[in-house]
Amino acid sequence: MKFFFCIALPFLVVLAVGGTSSILDMTPPISGLALTDLRDTFEEIHNGHRHEAMDIIEPKGTPVHAVVPGTIRKLFLSKPGGNTIYEFDEKGEYCYYYAHLERYADGLHEGMSVQRGDVIGFVGSTGNAVARTPHLHFTIFELGPERQWWKGKAVDPYPGLVAAVKRAR
Ligand SMILES: [Zn+2]
């Protein structure tokens, strides 16, 4: 029985998040992250809404890296999110969302291809973030067949980021 769990469990985990999902391939959005920097706040209620994301507290100006190779689909200034980036993975299956950025990396534009680890922006507190606690608000959306950047199903990024941080060490 023990043998079964050791062998079968990793496969079940892979199946649960969709086979060759890019989530399994993520690298951390911030260099040098430790597991203690990650807190699962997906289910928390923030400003009256389910948070459906993670907040990674970092000093203002800390570089933010693309977690997977893909395309910058949309750069959007929103009231709650401030300067935000919607990055699609190469298959257009998942959208990686980065918010409250102080600014974008120089030359970043919509339609641009990025490699894993490329600096795409810098941590800030734009939008509804509290000015004294700059942070990266990060989440993942599962895109529907229409692949609309504004319409996806939020996926808890916590397990994927924990795995990414462990691999990066
Ligand atoms: Zn947040």
Per-residue pLDDT of the chain (169 residues; tens, 9 = 90+): 455 455 555 555 555 555 579 999 999 999 999 999 999 999 999 889 999 999 999 999 999 999 999 999 999 999 999 999 999 999 999 999 999 999 999 999 999 999 999 999 999 999 999 999 999 999 999 999 999 999 999 999 999 999 999 999 8
Q: Say how many Å lie between the CA of residue 137 and the centre of ligand 1.
A: 4
Is pTM beyond 0.85 here?
yes
Q: Say how many Å lie between the CA of residue 21 and the centre of ligand 1.
A: 23
Smallest Cα–Cα separation from 120: which of 112, 111, 108, 110?
A: 108
Q: Say how many Å lie between the CA of residue 68 and the centre of ligand 1.
A: 20
Contact 33, 56 (CB under 8 A): yes
Q: What pLDDT, on the 0 to 100 scale, is given for residue 47?
A: 84
Q: Say how many Å lie between the CA of residue 69 and the centre of ligand 1.
A: 23
Q: Say how many Å lie between the CA of residue 99 and the centre of ligand 1.
A: 8
Q: Say how many Å lie between the CA of residue 159 and the centre of ligand 1.
A: 17
